[in-house]
Amino acid sequence: MIYEKEKDITLFTKFKRNATTLFLDPVWQGKQEYKKGEKFNIILSPSLYWVKKVQLPVKYLREVKKLLPSIFEEILPDGHFSYSAFKEGDSYYIFAYEDKKILALLEAHGIHHSNIAGVYFAQGELDIEEQVYQINETQVIYAKDDIVIVAPKIWFATSVPLDLQNHKIHSQSITLQQYGHIVNKGALYKISGALVVLIAIIGTQIMLTHEKINYIESLKENIFTKYKLYPTMMQNRAILAKYEGIYEIQTKLRGFIALFLKLPLKKSQKIVLLEYDKKRLHVKINGIKKEEGMQVFNTLTQAHIKYKTHYTKSGVIVEVAL
Amino acid sequence: MNQLNPLHIGALLLVLLAFSCFKLQEVKKELLEIKHSYHESEKVALDLNKLKSIYANKQKIKHTLEKILAYNSLKKAHLQISKNKTTIKITTDSIEYKMLNFLMGKILNAHYNITKLKIKKLTDTTASLYMEIQW
């Protein structure tokens, strides 16, 4: 890594930050020293990417990008590659590079990815025409057939050191995929998209369910208003239980009276008293002897009514609890 | 150039998905509870309304009782009627069986809350009556 110089990058004239331009060369073994928060523009050595100048029958760059993996398929070694392209005249410069390898090299030189302002290819960023630039003790870069390539220094009689002191960045930066090797970008988008859609569907369900809850609550409030119910269901249940109790007792009272009036009494046997108080019904029947009782009250037994009898001289008093 | 680890994004989305599933289960449970509570309130309201209209509607009880007691067949029964805030008492020292049958038929076939009742045979054709109806 050689030749550095701070330069100003002005964004909308308002935000200003300093970035040092560095040439990233795999041969250089040192560590880059820098201040905390300092940013770097990284120009990649041709050793770090594959480049081709091609002419393709497509109009837009996005169409070219789709073709890149298949164009490089046969020349690239095994690995996880990212692709990039830019147009110059009628030709396209197409690139393939290994994010992981570049990031590892930067890490090895002590540059953390948070300190990187932008990453650029030497091709396109460096305007090399007739000149041969020395990039380390043994290598140079020069342009051959419009392609910037690395060559041994000894091939050339003369070369000048690459000076980036006054270099102004002018090409488009590429984004290094830190995690591209972990997950396939396309698959990640698809899975993330599916998860987001699923979350959105569930979110909508939650919203709709909340609306239903609010609607039913308003219906419930209407019931309370319409039927003048007490504020709590506990009170209402207690009152309902009270009225249901009254209904049950009154139904039983009427049923028991009807049963007593239908008892198979002889002419000499008469009901002389019918008294109901404190949920107890007393019926006094004159003219019934104890031995006749069972037969007379058989109707009550069949109806599973529990009763008590108290025989007197004149007859019997029957007691039924309601 | 700092980028988020896609595994972190995936984990975050999965956590969000799990949370939204949990939340959905909760609101669905809440919906079931509120539905159950609504149906219960509706049933209680209807039953209470029906029973209150039978046993707690003073105007209706008064009106129907007055209608029964106004029958010609009961005019000679000399029934004594007394009312207070909670009860109506119908008493007579002596009533003929025919009239008693008519009166009891009408009262027992209607939904009055009879709290006390005493019918005592006096002769072969008459009886005494004491009855309290709560309203």
pLDDT of residue A90: 86
The CA-atom distances, in angstroms, between A62 and each of A84, A143, A264 are 10, 27, 105
- In angstroms, the CA A310 to CA A124 distance is 121
Q: What would the mean pLDDT of B38-57 be, rounded to a whole number?
A: 94
The CA-atom distances, in angstroms, between B77 and each of A272, A274, B89, B93 are 19, 19, 15, 9
Decide if A211 contacts A219 (C-beta within 8 A).
no
- In angstroms, the CA A218 to CA A234 distance is 19
pLDDT of residue B52: 92
pLDDT of residue A189: 84
- In angstroms, the CA B35 to CA B47 distance is 18
Burial of A75 (0-12, 13-18, 19+ CB in 10 A): exposed
Nearest residue in chain B measured CA to CA from A177:
B3
A206 touches chain B (CB under 8 A): yes
Rg (CA), chain B: 32
Q: What would the mean pLDDT of B75-87 be, rounded to a whole number?
A: 88
Structure-model confidence comparison of residues A4 and B112, the more confident one: B112
pLDDT of residue A14: 33
Task: State whether B120 and A273 contact (CB < 8 Å).
Answer: yes
Decide if A109 contacts A20 (C-beta within 8 A).
no
- Is the predicted pLDDT of residue A13 greater than 80, yes or no? no
Mean pLDDT estimate for chain A: 86
- In angstroms, the CA A95 to CA A92 distance is 10
pLDDT of residue A9: 36
Decide if B135 contacts B62 (C-beta within 8 A).
yes
Task: State whether A209 and B113 contact (CB < 8 Å).
Answer: no
Which position has the token pair 């119910």? A229
Q: What would the mean pLDDT of B24-41 be, rounded to a whole number?
A: 96
Give the residue extent of every domain in chain B: 1-55, 58-134
Q: Mind listing the pLDDT tens digit for each residue in B113-126?
A: 999 999 999 998 99
Rg (CA), chain A: 50
Nearest residue in chain A measured CA to CA from B19:
A199
Mean pLDDT estimate for chain B: 91
The continuous run of DSSP H or E covering A321 comes out as strand A315-321
- Is the predicted pLDDT of residue A16 greater than 50, yes or no? no
- Is the predicted pLDDT of residue A6 greater than 60, yes or no? no
Structure-model confidence comparison of residues A13 and A69, the more confident one: A69
Helix/strand/coil for A113: helix
**pLDDT class of B70 with cuts at 50, 70, 90:** confident
Contacts of A39 (CB under 8 A, 6+ apart): A17, A18, A19, A20, A115, A116, A117
Q: Mind listing the pLDDT tens digit for each residue in A250-293?
A: 999 999 999 999 888 888 899 999 999 999 999 999 988 888 88
pLDDT of residue A166: 79
pTM: 0.62
Work out the minimum CA distance from A309 to partner chain B, whole angstroms.
19
Q: Mind listing the pLDDT tens digit for each residue in A161-183?
A: 888 877 888 888 888 887 766 66
Q: What would the mean pLDDT of A32-45 be, rounded to a whole number?
A: 82
Q: Pairing state of beta strands A270-277 and B113-121?
A: antiparallel
DSSP string, A204-216: HHHHHHHHHHHHH
Closest by Cβ to A223, choosing from B17, B35, B45: B45
With a pLDDT cut of 90, the percent of chain A lying above it is 49
- Is the predicted pLDDT of residue A12 greater than 70, yes or no? no
Task: State whether B41 and A229 contact (CB < 8 Å).
Answer: yes
- In angstroms, the CA B105 to CA A141 distance is 122
Structure-model confidence comparison of residues A198 and B1, the more confident one: A198
Q: What would the mean pLDDT of A131-145 be, rounded to a whole number?
A: 90
**pLDDT class of B6 with cuts at 50, 70, 90:** confident
pLDDT of residue B2: 57
The CA-atom distances, in angstroms, between A168 and each of A7, A21, A25, A41 are 8, 9, 19, 10
Task: State whether B47 and A240 contact (CB < 8 Å).
Answer: yes
Chain B residue numbers with beta carbons less than 8 Å from the beta carbon of A196 are 13
**Interface A:B, Cβ pairs < 8 A:** 150
pLDDT of residue A96: 95
Q: Which residues are A87's β-sheet partners?
A: A92
